[in-house]
Amino acid sequence: MSTTATNATIDRRDFVARLLQACPQALVVTGLGSPTYDVFASGDSDRYFYLWGAMGGAVSIGLGLALAQPSRPVLVITGDGEALMGMGSLATAAAQRPDNLAIVVLDNGHFGETGMQRSHSSMGTRMAQVAQACGIAQAREVMAIDEVGEVAATVNACAGISFAQVHIRREEVPRALPSRDGTLVKNRFRIGLGLGTF
């Protein structure tokens, strides 16, 4: 059984809050479920695009944003279940090679939104190694909260696509719910980018 399922020590909310504080210029795309709650709990921003559906689509949305906004760091924060469902997007992102895309997977080895069933990452799938095999050279596993600074430095550097598999404790934390109005979230994000609405 992997570290995720047995002895991970990282508090997800603490890690996300520290990461976002250290990346004040990043445009953030959240995977549905707990990563969205974690980001919103750290403080809302018009730089945050909350993904309420399309499980498996967070990296693809982040990739499109990174290509459209090459001068801004783009940070995807998602969970292991969502990342596993869209794993093919890692190969696409690696092929496109945007310098400004960072992918952070909060991995507790379980599908938190559907009843805490074990996910593949607790059964042997090493997502950081999968990311490397897809062509993402800057791929790492994060085992301790004090590594958050190194992850943030990679996000801010915009020196190539990166991937971090963050081993978090298996726990259910209170939900913090941003707006579920997709049009509002989209328009607010566009206005924050200076693009206006459509």
- Stretch 127-136: mean pLDDT: 93
Residue 120: pLDDT above 80?
Answer: no
pLDDT recorded at residue 86: 87
Judge whether 116 and 172 are in contact, CB under 8 Å: yes
Flag whether pLDDT at 109 surpasses 70.
Answer: no
State in words which class domain 3-192 has: alpha beta
CA distance 197 to 183: 10
List C-alpha distances in Å: 64 to 58, 69, 95, 134, 147. Answer: 10, 9, 13, 18, 28
Q: Which tens digits make up the pLDDT trace of 141-179? A: 999 999 999 999 999 999 999 999 999 887 777 788 888
68 — pLDDT class (breaks 50, 70, 90): very high
DSSP 91-133: HHHHHH--TTEEEEEEE-SEEGGGT-EEPGGGTT--HHHHHHH
Sign of CA dihedral 133, 169, 122, 120: negative
Q: Which token pair is 99?
A: 């310098």
Q: Residue 118 — pLDDT band, cuts 50, 70, 90?
A: low
Contact of 126 with 80, CB cutoff 8 Å = no
* C-alpha–C-alpha distance, residues 41 and 178, integer Å: 9
Q: State the CB neighbour count (10 A cutoff) for residue 191.
A: 12
Average pLDDT, the chain: 88
pLDDT surpasses 60 at 88: yes
* pLDDT tops 50 at residue 182: yes
Instruction: Specify which residues 106 forms β-bridges with.
Output: 79, 166
Whether the pLDDT of residue 127 is over 90: the answer is no
Residue 105 dihedral angles phi and psi, to the nearest 5°: -110, 120
Cα of 30 vs its chain's centroid, Å: 6
Residue 114 banded pLDDT, cuts 50, 70, 90: low
CA distances from 182 to 36, 145, 168 (A): 13, 32, 28
For residue 2, pLDDT over 90 is answered with no
